[in-house]
Amino acid sequence: MGFDSDVYLYGTYRNGLRVIECCGCSLAGIPVKDGEKVHWPSGFPAFSTAVGACEHLDRHRKAGDKVPGYAYDAILADDDWLRGDDVPAGGVDGDVRPADGAAEEGTGA
């Protein structure tokens, strides 16, 4: 997010897959405060393809959010990274790749 954008997407790992996640997604529902923690009941949308992430940006634009054109270019440039396969067998940041080495399918909204 910045002066010219209401949306922040970034590359990360989820369930042993590389994904692009929409951080603090305004389309994901209303945040819930549970004690000192704030969370989104549905989680943040994550996309395993650049096309899926771009379609999500379209939804933000239709909802009235500011989304600069260069955001699409940046996501499409990350397509090679999304298709990479260098996640360690133990996963990253708590994500675990199944024992057979197969990655689970990514999610998107």
The domain locations on the chain are 9-82
| pLDDT tens figures, 6-47 | 999 998 888 888 889 998 888 877 666 666 666 555 578 888
Is residue 20 a contact partner of residue 55, using CB atoms and an 8 Å limit? no
Residues in contact with 101: Cβ distance below 8 Å, sequence separation at least 6, in sequence order: 89
The structure's pTM equals 0.67
DSSP lists the bridge partners of residue 47 as: 20
How would you write the chain as a 3-class SS string?
CECCECCCEEEEEECCEEEEEECCCCCCCCCEEECCEEECCCCCCEECCHHHHHHHHHHHHHCCCCCCHHHHHHHHHCHHHHCCCCCCCCCCCCCCCCCCCCCCCCCCC
Q: What is the pLDDT of residue 94?
A: 39
What amino acid occupies position 30? I
pLDDT in tens, 65-87: 999 999 999 999 878 888 876 65
For residue 46, give both structure tokens. 């994550």
Q: What per-residue confidence (pLDDT) applies to 92?
A: 45
